[in-house]
Amino acid sequence: MTSTQTEAPTQPPTVPRTYEVRTYGCQMNVHDSERLTGLLEDAGYAAAPSGEQADVVVFNTCAVRENADNRLYGNLGHLAPVKAATPGMQIAVGGCLAQKDRETITRKAPWVDVVFGTHNIGSLPVLLERARVQEEAQVEILESLEVFPSTLPTKRESAYAAWVSISVGCNNTCTFCIVPSLRGTEKDRRPGEILAEIEALVADGVSEVTLLGQNVNAYGVEFGDRQAFSKLLRACGDIEGLERVRFTSPHPAEFTDDVIEAMAQTPNVMPSLHMPLQSGSDKVLRAMRRSYRQSRYLGIIERVRAAMPEAAITTDIIVGFPGETDEDFEATLDVVRAARFSGAFTFQYSKRPGTPAATLEDQVPRAVVQERYERLVAEVNEIAWQENRALEGRRMDLLVAEGEGRKDAATHRLSGRAPDNRLVHFNPEGADGVRPGDVVTVEVTYGAPHHLVADGAVLSVRRTRSGDTWERRQGGAAPEAGGVSLGMPVIGVPSPLPEAPACR
């Protein structure tokens, strides 16, 4: 007996349009880019294979960096001939610079298809489609946030660690900072929603979360609970499977003792603190419109050290703010020596158009800023090195990282993060098959200025669900959450650490 089968007419396979998101700036932007990729994938786009030209290139810009606009227009200029030669290609510009420059972008670079701001990242797919259909650039900037961005689809970059936004915007008015005018006033997410997101992340294999806010410890100001941040930290302590909790960046003015107690008493809140100093001089702090003073800052450090002697404390410092004298700069060095930071992001002040400080008289000459900057960096590095050397011989548990040890291939080491967030490069002997997201115990053999080394064999290995998740991802298994889902985390290839903390 024979049978005939009627073949269904073959449809040409639909090839998804590809995207590439280029991210500049702080963790806020890194996390926003996770949302942008989530949105694009939800709309049917696929990540462009590395080395291949994407159909859609999205710039997520930063307005804080010096010459950010020159760099953006340079990059857009490079893409103009590529776009001209690639039918259907689209370019979108979002982030802080887009919020600031708006129509200027399409005027200077008329080949840009979409400009969107910090308050409407959710509109990107619609704007791209509208630009394609109408064959005309779309510029859409909102003045305030309509939807909290964490309710948007998100494609998480790391298998084991995740950012969780608890607030966006900032109610402060630091005179060097463009954030308040571009990100708006602080909007707090409800605690239940934050905890639900963290629980979902943990269910997906994440073991470390970093709570994110421009002014993270002001959390609760919108709903009138001054202790909301410490309560949130304690609530994180009740989430089973959540091994490490961090946060960035707290503001010294709002740093209250209940936060120190919550950190010290909640075992999964890690003993690391990144607290921007900016200047050690009360006069400069006043000119910066930062409402704490040197004594308050050092008081917090003292109480943190008393409660958590093993804590690593890092900071941000700006050198050469307008009006900074040698005496003011010495006051900053005094704080550096007293606080014994384990690391610092150091910045040379330069004018940011749109900030109040840009119009201040008494700008410090470039050469003076440079000389102070070099002295500061030397002092910070020397102290960080002493602190790291003091850890030689210490045993520590490392969360094995991916993409954090640039020289690992050459040195045959792996890298991981200590509880205090120090980067440790370790000899993988005795840890066969260890995966990013697993935990190893090592003994530090050498403290370098910016990292630790553990060159003995690994003492123990704990395989974790995060490691399983990472391994599954390598096999190309579909994310458990079904690709991208509304507000639910999806896991992927970890990204390198962002350039600098959120609040500057």
Segment 185 to 224, residues that bind ligand SF4, using CB under 6 A: 214-215
Q: What is the DSSP letter of 278?
A: B
Which of 228, 91, 106, 249 shows the shortest CA–CA distance to 179? 249
Smallest separation (angstroms) from ligand SF4 to the CB of 315? 13
Phi and psi, residue 41, nearest 5°: -70, -35
| Residue 179 engages ligand SF4 in binding (rule: CB under 6 A) | yes
Give bridge partners of residue 452 from the DSSP assignment.
424, 447
Select the span of 82-90, 167-175, 318-326, 462-470 touching ligand SF4 (CB under 6 A).
167-175
Residue 177 annotated as lining a ligand binding site: yes
Window 464-483: contact mask with ligand SF4 (x via CB under 6 A)? --------------------
251 or 372: whose CB is closer to ligand SF4? Answer: 251
Which of 114, 174, 318, 439 lies at the binding interface for ligand SF4 (CB under 6 A)? 174
Cα-based distances in Å from 220 to 15, 170, 182, 225: 46, 12, 21, 5
Cα-based distances in Å from 293 to 300, 314, 345: 11, 18, 20
Give bridge partners of residue 344 from the DSSP assignment.
315
Smallest separation (angstroms) from ligand SF4 to the CB of 281? 17
The Cα 162–Cα 144 span in angstroms is 26
Number of residues binding to ligand SF4, judged by CB under 6 A: 11
Select the span of 173-181, 348-356, 385-393, 470-478 touching ligand SF4 (CB under 6 A).
173-181
Q: What is the 3-state secondary structure (H, E, C) of 137-202?
A: CEEECCCCCCCCHHHCCCCCCCCCEEEEECEECCCCCCCCCCHHHHHCCCEECCHHHHHHHHHHHH
Residue 503 annotated as lining a ligand binding site: no
Residue 236 annotated as lining a ligand binding site: no
The Cα 207–Cα 462 span in angstroms is 13
| Residue 170 engages ligand SF4 in binding (rule: CB under 6 A) | yes
| Residue 177 engages ligand SF4 in binding (rule: CB under 6 A) | yes
| Residue 251 engages ligand SF4 in binding (rule: CB under 6 A) | yes
Cis check for the bond before 249: say yes or no (omega within 30 of 0).
yes
89 or 179: whose CB is closer to ligand SF4? Answer: 179
Q: Which residues are annotated as part of the binding site for [4Fe-4S] cluster?
A: 26, 62, 96, 170, 174, 177
**Residues at the interface with ligand SF4 (CB under 6 A):** 170, 172, 174, 177, 179-180, 214-215, 251, 503-504
Q: Which residues are annotated as part of the binding site?
A: 26, 62, 96, 170, 174, 177
